[in-house]
Amino acid sequence: MARFRDLYQDTQAKLFRRNILVAAFVYVAFVCWDVIVAPMSLGNILEIRLVFLGLGMLLFLASGLASFRRWYNWCVLGLIGSVGLSVAVILSLVPRGFAIGIAGVLICISASSVLVSAEGWATARSQRSAPSPS
């Protein structure tokens, strides 16, 4: 079981580096939506996005450290929570933001759940196909 856990954590840490870059790009790309829906709050929204983008980039840099594997689950939990908080604050700044944005939030939650599950299954499958030590 320890071997599977180590393989899982190694795989997740590597995937985290890739996924956080993609997520940061998507998170910043939503500025286009902000310009259309809430141009009057754009300055505040950009500040919020940049703070959380900075947090994501710090986690990206930290994920290269050897000790990151031990803190991976807590980092992912913190990142998901902070992004959720930032999205809630952004939606509160947009007129009728929750009415407009909640569908997008639910799609993002569903997509991230599928990706996390797929990565876990991929790790489990690679463990099964790995040769057993003799």
Span 5-48, pLDDT tens digits: 777 777 777 778 888 888 888 888 888 888 888 888 888 888 98
What percentage of the chain carries pLDDT values higher than 70? 81
Residue 50 to residue 45: CA distance in whole angstroms: 9
Q: Of 104, 106, 107, 134, which Cα lies nearest the Cα of 32?
A: 104
Tokens of 86: 């930032």
Query: What digits encode the pLDDT tens for the residues 65-81?
Result: 878 877 877 887 888 78
pTM over 0.85: no
The helix/strand count (H/E) of the chain reads as: 5, 0
Residue 52 to residue 31: CA distance in whole angstroms: 13
